[in-house]
Every structure is written in structure tokens, then in C-alpha cells.
């Protein structure tokens, strides 16, 4: 048995070299060339080995597919992971499917000829079922992969179009900025041209016209580019709409396929559940039957044990009775022998005692005679020969008597030994009787103890069986509950996936609707702002015209008086000095007169006229021509003629210069409005993320702070034109 990702897999008797080679191949990025190498590498082995290899690889592929699906689900849960990880997992899965297709096709080709020979064998049927299941799984995976590839293509096209739209929008912004810069340049040039026209320098007119022509051409080119880009944007928007429609259609197809697969899976699960329930019922019935059989066997065994024990009891009682009868007979025999032995011992003792007493008397007599004879010899007493014979006889008798005494003593010792033996035998017999009685009591106690132990064991077995039955019932109920929980979890997970898909589709639609609404609202806002600006600047134009007319009329009267005074003084000088050095002196005199008139009228003039007269005197120092009066009249009349040619932007710039304080306040309010728009945009984005449960803690804090700031602020969106006009 091999293990992969903690799951046991059968080896099918393959060696370690082949299994290692197969496991190494799973980790490679397989190409068609490597697939051909695989087929050529495994083609060397026998058919049995090939079959085992294909089965081993099919089991590994099931494990790998489950692992890859789990990894994909984890990536989708954790903010969809990175695109590279998803691509790597998808590529690996597609490679595994290719290898499985090739190996399954081989396995089918190998198993066909065997199935013709052994159609009735169970092994061939199991292999065919496995192959059919694997082929169905492969077909479903191919369908899923095809649908996923179509979706990926559409998403890629959509992303590309969105990127192009963003790039075009950026280019439009840049071109608009260029247009604004060009228009500002034109306005500045026009302003300079008006000043030059005011003091009529003809040398700068041609150059300014050329610059104006170049700028106008550039502006026209930029407008053409902007129009082209807007046309391309419209086309791209149309393509995006079509892509969205295609995506909706494909999502519907995918949902239909998923529903079909779910129905098939549910049907299979129901069939499997029914089969499992049937098998469980059959197992329960078999277990019940086996338990009943075991119980009957136990009861029969207990009965047999009881009968055996009773028979053993009866046999033991019979043996004991026989032993008691034998012992009684033996005791009777022993008593008879005891009585006999006692009688004999008494007779022997009596006879022996009498004989011993006689012998002792004779011995004493002989010893006394011998002692007397020896005493007489010591003292010199002489006896006859007969006396010597008597002594010899007496000595022989004494010796004979001693021998008899010794014999009798030995007989006595033997008798005493016999008596001691009899006593020892009686003591041993009594001890054996006591031992037998003790053994009987011990056996009886053991029998009682064993009987009690057997009864206790039977009770414990009965209790344990009841407990085991209860535990099994509880475990079966728990297993069923767990199965129900697992089914509910799977169903909930599928519902969550479906809801996520629906939520994504709804979000895309909502985002598109919001985009359209934003575009329309921005257009309306821009139109309203343009109308406000137009009205504002129309009022300012009228006011500015009135102020300029008043200033020009006042300055014109002053200038005419100055000119008349200068003419009079010039005539007086001509009369005094004549026509000599008229040009040089007249110019210098005119300058001095203008300066003196300026100093005299300085206090009477307004600020605007002061500035214009200073510029006028600066030009007089440069110009030394005599046509002073003509240039002055033309300079006074030209601004009135050229006033109509001014654009609104030039009026705006002049108004900003003269009224910088009021317009700075308005500009700040305008910036506040723009910042509020961006803040609201950011808040909508964060709330969208919060609804999708993708928001972080930092973003939640940011959202709360911004909402509090908006509540505390009081912003005035509408502009009060009356205040601005009163200030101007």
C-alpha cells in the first residue's frame, strides 16, 4: 500500500522503481512529446504490468483531482488568490486529464479481449464499471474545461477592451489639457495684441498673426483627434455590450449544465443511499441472526456445562462413598491385626520375661561360683581336678547364657521396632484421613466458588451484551446524523457557490447601471455648470463693458485737452525758433509737455487711467516720430472696436485680475465640491466591498471616519451670484 496526501492507495504488486517514476511524472508540466515518451516507456512491460500501472495511475489521479479542487476552492475563498496560481493549477489539472485519457484508452483496449473470454467473471465486470465511471468523469471534465475556456476568452477580451478604453480616456484627457494650454496661449497672445494695438506698433502685428494661425491649426488638429478617439470609444462600448450579452448567455449555459450535473449527482447519491440502506438493513439482519445464533449456542454451552458439573458431582460422590467403604474395611482389618499382635506381644513378653529371669538367676549363680574359685586361688587354696571341670562347665554355661540373653534382647528390640512401626502407620493413616477430609472440603469450596464465578461471569456477559447493543444503536444513530450533516453541508456549499455566481452577475449589472447613471448625471451636471458659467460671464461682460466705456470716455476728454495744449505750445515754439531742427526739438518738447501735463493731471485721474498713461509715456520715449496725434486717436478708438473680438476666457482672466479676492473664495468652494464628490465615490466603493465581505479593518476605519466628517460638515453647493456681482 502506497500513500499520497495522507490517503492509502493500492500498489497492485508494482515495484518501487515504477511507482517513483509515475509520482515524478505527475509533478512535471506535460507536453505532447512527453506523453509520447510515456507511452513508449511503458510499452516495454507485460500486459499485466500495464494494467496494474493504468489502475494505479487512475487512483492517483482521483486523489490529485480532489486535492486540486480543494486548492482552487481555498483560493476562491481567500480573495480569489493570484492569477498565476490559478493558471498553474488549471494547467496541471489539464495535464492530468490528458494522461488519464491516454491510460484509460489503453486500459479499455487491453481489457476487451479478456472480456470476450471471461464475460461471466466478477473481476472483469468490476473493471468495466470502473472504466465507464472514469470515462464519464473525463467527459464531464472536458465539458467543464471547454466552458471555462470560453469564459476565460471572453473575460480576456473584456479586460483588453476596458484597458483600451482607459487608455483612450487618458489620451482624451491629455489632449484636452493640450487644448486648454493652447487656448490659454491664444488668450495671452490676444491680450498682448490688444495692448500692442492700443499703442499701434505695426512691427509686431505680422508675427502675432502667424502665431495665431499656428495655434488655431493646432487646436483644430487636436479637436479632430478628440473626435476620432470618441468615435473609437463608442465602438468599444458597443463591443463591450455585446461581450456582456455573450457572457450572460454563457453563464446561463453553464448554470444549465451545472443544474444537469447536480441532478445527475443527486440521482446517483439517492441510488447509492438506497443501496447503502439496503446493505445496512441486510447487515443488521445478518448481525441479529448471528447474535441469536450465538445466544442459543451460549445457552446450550451453559446447559452442557451445568450437566457436566452435575455428572462430575455425582461421580465424585460415588468415588467418595467407595473410598469410605474401603477405608472402613481396612480399619476393620487393622483392628483385627492389632488385637492379634497385642495378644502375641503379651505372650512373648511373658515368656521372655520368665526365661530372662531364669537365665539371670543361673548366670548369677555361676558368676558367684567363679568368683569364689578365683578368690581361693588368690589366697592359695587348692582344689581337686573335678573342681576344674566344674569351673569350665560353669564358664561354658555362662557364655551360653550370655548368648541367649543377647538373642532375647535382639528379639525384644525387633518387637519394639514392630510396635513403633504399627504406631507410625496408625499416625500416618490418621493424617491421611485428615488430609482427605481437608481436600474434600477444599474441593467443595472450589466448586462453590467456581459456580459463583460462572454465574457472575454470565451476568456480566449479559450486561455487556446489553451495553454493546445500546452503544451500537447509538453509534448507528450518530453515523446517520453525521451523514445527514455532511449532506446538508454539501448542499449548503453548493448553494453558496450558486449565490456567489449570481451575486457576481448582479454586481456586474449593477456596476454597469451605475456607470451609465454616472455618465448621464455627469453630463447633466456639466450642462448645468456651463449654463451657470455662461450666465455669470454674460453679467460680467456687461459690467466690464460699462466700466471700460466710462473709463475710456473720461480718458478721452483728458487726452483731447492735453493734445490741444501741446499743439498750442508747439505753435509758440515754432514761432520763436523757426523751422530749424524741428523734428528733434519738437519730439523732445512734446515729451516734456506730455510729462508736465501728466504731473498736473495725475491727482485728477483714476487708477486705470494712471496705468495706461504710464504705459503711454513709456511708448513715447521709444517713438520719435511726428505722427503723435494720429497714433493717439487710433489707440483710443481701437480697443472699442476690438472689444467684441474678446473671448469669454479673456474676460475671465481680466476679471480674475481685478477681483482676485472674491474669485479665490469661489474657487475654494469649487474645490470643496470636487473633494466631496471624490469622498462620496470612495465611500460607495468601500460600502460595495463591505457588502461582498472583502473589506479590511483599515478600510472599515476609513469608511467610518469619512462618514463622520460628512455629517459634521455643512457645504454650500449653490453659488450666490448676487454677492459676487455686488463685490465686483
pTM given for the model: 0.21
CA distance 643 to 585: 37
Find the helix or strand (DSSP H, E) in which 4 lies. strand 2-4
Does residue 190 contact residue 237 with C-beta atoms inside 8 Å? no
Find the helix or strand (DSSP H, E) in which 564 lies. helix 385-577
Q: Of the candidates 357, 388, 386, which has an alpha carbon nearest to the alpha carbon of residue 373?
A: 388
Residue range 610-625: mean pLDDT, rounded: 55
Cell of 551: 473709463
HSE (CB half, 13 Å, CA atoms) of 75?
17
Flag whether pLDDT at 696 surpasses 80. Answer: yes
pLDDT interval class at 728 (50, 70, 90): very low
Q: What are phi and psi of 45, to 5 degrees?
A: -75, 170
Sign for the pseudo-dihedral over CA of 457, 461, 463, 467 = positive
Residue range 125-144: mean pLDDT, rounded: 58
The DSSP output letter for 45 is S
pLDDT tens column, 571-582:
777 776 654 444
Strands 2-4, 7-9: pairing is antiparallel
Does residue 40 contact residue 5 with C-beta atoms inside 8 Å? no
What angle (nearest 5°) sits at the alpha carbon of residue 123, between those of residues 117 and 125?
Answer: 75
Flag whether pLDDT at 216 surpasses 70. Answer: no
Question: Which of helix, strand or coil describes residue 3?
Answer: strand
pLDDT interval class at 620 (50, 70, 90): low
Residue range 73-101: mean pLDDT, rounded: 67
Q: Which residues contact 150 (CB under 8 A, 6 or more apart)?
A: 250
pLDDT interval class at 362 (50, 70, 90): low
Instruction: Provide Rg for the chain, Cα atoms.
Output: 69
Flag whether pLDDT at 138 surpasses 80. Answer: no
Flag whether pLDDT at 609 surpasses 60. Answer: no
* Strand partners of residue 7: 4
CA distance 357 to 363: 10
User: Any idea of the CA torsion for 242, 245, 246, 249, to the nearest 10 degrees?
Assistant: -160
pLDDT tens column, 37-71:
666 666 677 778 877 877 787 787 777 777 777 77
The DSSP output letter for 626 is S
Q: Of the candidates 2, 135, 165, 131, which has an alpha carbon nearest to the alpha carbon of residue 55?
A: 131
Does residue 178 contact residue 612 with C-beta atoms inside 8 Å? no
Does residue 5 contact residue 67 with C-beta atoms inside 8 Å? yes
pLDDT interval class at 262 (50, 70, 90): confident
| pLDDT the model gives residue 126 | 57
* Strand partners of residue 2: 9
Residue range 580-605: mean pLDDT, rounded: 47
CA distance 31 to 95: 8
Residue with cell 512491460: 45
Q: From residue 671, how far is each of 174, 667, 674 by CA, in Å?
A: 21, 6, 5
Query: Which 3-state string (H, E, C) describes 251-290?
Result: HHHHHHHHHHHHHHHHHHHHHHHHHHHHHHHHHHHHHHHH
| pLDDT the model gives residue 117 | 38
Flag whether pLDDT at 136 surpasses 60. Answer: no
HSE (CB half, 13 Å, CA atoms) of 238?
6
CA distance 210 to 61: 78
* Strand partners of residue 8: 3
pLDDT tens column, 446-478:
888 888 888 888 888 888 888 888 888 888 888
CA distance 431 to 250: 108
CA distance 401 to 193: 195
CA distance 265 to 259: 10
Cell of 84: 498565476
Q: Which residues contact 69 (CB under 8 A, 6 or more apart)?
A: none
| pLDDT the model gives residue 694 | 77
pLDDT interval class at 128 (50, 70, 90): low
What angle (nearest 5°) sits at the alpha carbon of residue 635, between those of residues 630 and 639?
Answer: 150
Percent of the chain with pLDDT over 70: 49
Length of the chain: 728
| pLDDT the model gives residue 227 | 72
The residues spanned by each domain of the chain are 2-117, 329-498, 659-728
Mean pLDDT check: name the lowest of 51-55, 107-111, 276-280.
107-111
Residue range 551-571: mean pLDDT, rounded: 72
DSSP line for 212-243: HHHHHHHHHHHHHHHHHHHHHHHHHHHHHHHH
pLDDT tens column, 383-412:
444 455 655 666 666 676 677 666 766 766
Does residue 338 contact residue 422 with C-beta atoms inside 8 Å? yes
CA distance 97 to 521: 52
Does residue 370 contact residue 387 with C-beta atoms inside 8 Å? no
Q: 171: exposed, middle or buried (C-beta count within 10 Å: 0-12, 13-18, 19+)?
A: middle
CA distance 161 to 400: 158
CA distance 67 to 89: 10
Q: What are phi and psi of 80, to 5 degrees?
A: 65, 5
Does residue 28 contact residue 34 with C-beta atoms inside 8 Å? yes
Q: Of the candidates 98, 102, 96, which has an alpha carbon nearest to the alpha carbon of residue 69?
A: 96
Cell of 564: 490741444
Looking at per-residue pLDDT, the higher value among 158 and 641 belongs to 158
Amino acid at each position: 500500500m502506497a500513500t499520497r496526501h495522507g490517503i492509502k492507495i493500492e500498489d497492485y504488486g508494482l515495484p518501487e522503481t515504477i511507482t517513483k517514476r509515475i509520482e515524478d511524472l505527475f509533478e512535471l508540466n506535460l507536453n505532447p512529446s512527453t506523453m509520447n515518451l510515456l507511452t513508449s516507456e511503458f510499452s516495454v512491460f507485460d500486459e499485466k504490468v500495464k494494467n496494474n500501472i493504468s489502475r494505479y495511475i487512475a487512483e492517483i489521479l482521483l486523489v490529485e483531482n480532489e486535492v486540486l479542487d480543494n486548492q482552487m476552492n481555498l483560493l476562491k475563498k481567500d480573495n480569489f488568490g493570484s492569477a498565476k496560481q490559478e493558471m498553474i493549477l488549471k494547467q496541471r489539472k489539464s495535464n492530468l486529464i490528458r494522461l488519464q485519457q491516454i491510460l484509460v484508452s489503453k486500459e479499455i483496449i487491453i481489457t476487451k479481449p479478456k472480456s470476450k473470454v471471461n464475460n461471466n467473471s466478477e473481476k472483469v465486470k468490476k473493471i468495466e464499471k470502473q472504466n465507464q465511471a472514469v470515462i464519464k468523469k473525463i467527459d464531464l471534465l472536458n465539458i467543464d474545461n471547454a466552458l471555462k475556456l470560453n469564459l476565460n476568452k471572453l473575460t480576456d477580451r473584456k479586460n483588453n477592451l476596458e484597458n483600451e478604453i482607459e487608455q483612450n480616456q487618458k489620451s482624451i484627457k491629455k489632449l484636452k489639457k493640450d487644448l486648454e494650454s493652447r487656448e490659454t496661449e491664444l488668450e495671452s497672445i490676444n491680450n498682448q495684441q490688444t495692448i500692442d494695438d492700443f499703442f499701434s506698433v505695426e512691427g509686431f502685428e505680422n508675427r502675432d498673426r502667424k502665431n495665431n494661425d499656428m495655434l488655431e491649426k493646432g487646436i483644430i488638429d487636436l479637436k479632430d483627434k478628440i473626435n476620432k478617439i470618441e468615435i473609437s470609444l463608442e465602438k468599444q462600448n458597443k463591443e463591450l455590450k455585446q461581450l456582456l450579452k455573450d457572457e450572460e448567455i454563457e453563464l446561463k449555459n453553464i448554470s444549465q449544465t451545472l443544474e444537469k450535473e447536480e441532478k445527475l449527482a443527486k440521482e446517483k447519491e439517492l441510488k447509492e443511499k438506497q443501496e447503502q440502506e439496503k446493505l445496512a438493513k441486510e447487515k443488521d439482519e445478518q448481525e441479529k441472526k448471528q447474535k441469536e445464533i450465538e445466544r442459543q449456542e451460549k445457552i446450550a454451552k451453559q446447559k452442557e456445562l451445568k450437566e457436566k458439573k452435575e455428572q462430575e458431582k455425582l461421580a465424585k460422590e460415588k468415588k467418595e462413598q467407595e473410598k469410605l467403604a474401603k477405608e472402613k474395611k481396612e480399619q476393620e482389618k487393622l483392628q483385627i491385626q492389632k488385637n492379634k499382635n497385642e495378644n502375641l506381644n503379651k505372650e512373648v513378653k511373658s515368656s521372655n520375661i520368665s526365661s530372662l529371669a531364669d537365665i539371670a538367676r543361673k548366670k548369677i549363680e555361676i558368676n558367684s561360683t567363679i568368683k569364689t574359685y578365683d578368690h581361693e586361688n588368690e589366697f592359695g587354696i587348692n582344689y581337686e581336678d573335678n573342681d576344674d571341670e566344674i569351673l569350665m562347665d560353669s564358664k561354658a554355661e555362662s557364655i551360653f547364657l550370655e548368648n541367649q540373653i543377647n538373642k532375647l534382647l535382639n528379639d525384644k528390640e525387633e518387637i519394639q521396632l514392630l510396635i513403633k512401626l504399627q504406631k507410625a502407620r496408625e499416625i500416618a493413616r490418621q493424617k491421611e484421613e485428615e488430609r482427605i477430609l481437608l481436600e474434600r472440603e477444599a474441593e467443595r469450596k472450589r466448586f462453590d466458588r467456581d459456580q459463583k464465578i460462572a454465574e457472575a461471569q454470565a451476568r456480566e456477559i449479559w450486561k455487556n451484551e446489553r451495553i454493546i447493543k445500546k452503544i451500537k444503536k447509538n453509534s448507528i444513530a450518530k453515523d446517520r446524523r453525521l451523514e445527514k450533516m455532511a449532506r446538508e453541508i454539501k448542499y449548503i456549499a453548493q448553494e453558496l457557490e450558486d449565490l456567489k455566481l449570481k451575486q457576481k452577475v448582479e454586481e456586474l449589472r449593477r456596476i454597469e447601471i451605475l456607470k451609465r447613471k454616472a455618465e448621464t448625471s455627469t453630463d447633466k451636471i456639466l450642462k448645468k455648470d456651463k449654463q451657470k458659467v455662461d450666465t455669470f460671464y454674460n453679467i460680467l461682460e456687461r459690467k466690464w463693458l460699462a466700466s471700460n466705456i466710462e473709463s475710456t470716455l473720461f480718458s478721452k476728454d483728458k487726452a483731447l485737452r492735453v493734445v490741444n495744449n501741446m499743439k498750442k505750445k508747439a505753435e509758440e515754439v515754432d514761432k520763436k525758433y523757426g523751422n530749424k531742427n524741428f523734428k528733434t526739438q519738437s519730439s523732445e518738447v512734446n515729451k516734456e509737455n506730455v510729462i508736465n501735463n501728466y504731473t498736473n493731471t495725475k491727482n485728477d485721474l483714476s487708477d486705470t487711467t494712471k496705468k495706461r498713461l504710464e504705459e503711454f509715456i513709456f511708448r513715447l520715449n521709444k517713438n520719435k516720430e511726428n505722427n503723435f496725434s494720429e497714433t493717439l486717436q487710433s489707440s483710443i478708438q481701437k480697443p472699442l472696436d476690438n472689444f467684441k473680438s474678446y473671448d469669454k476666457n479673456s474676460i475671465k482672466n481680466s476679471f480674475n485680475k481685478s477681483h482676485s479676492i472674491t474669485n479665490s473664495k469661489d474657487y475654494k468652494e469649487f474645490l470643496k465640491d470636487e473633494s466631496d464628490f471624490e469622498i462620496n465615490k470612495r465611500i460607495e466603493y468601500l460600502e460595495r466591498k463591505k457588502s461582498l465581505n472583502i473589506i479590511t479593518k483599515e478600510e472599515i476605519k476609513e469608511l467610518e471616519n469619512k462618514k463622520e466628517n460628512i455629517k459634521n460638515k455643512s457645504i454650500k453647493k449653490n453659488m450666490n451670484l448676487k454677492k459676487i456681482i455686488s463685490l465686483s
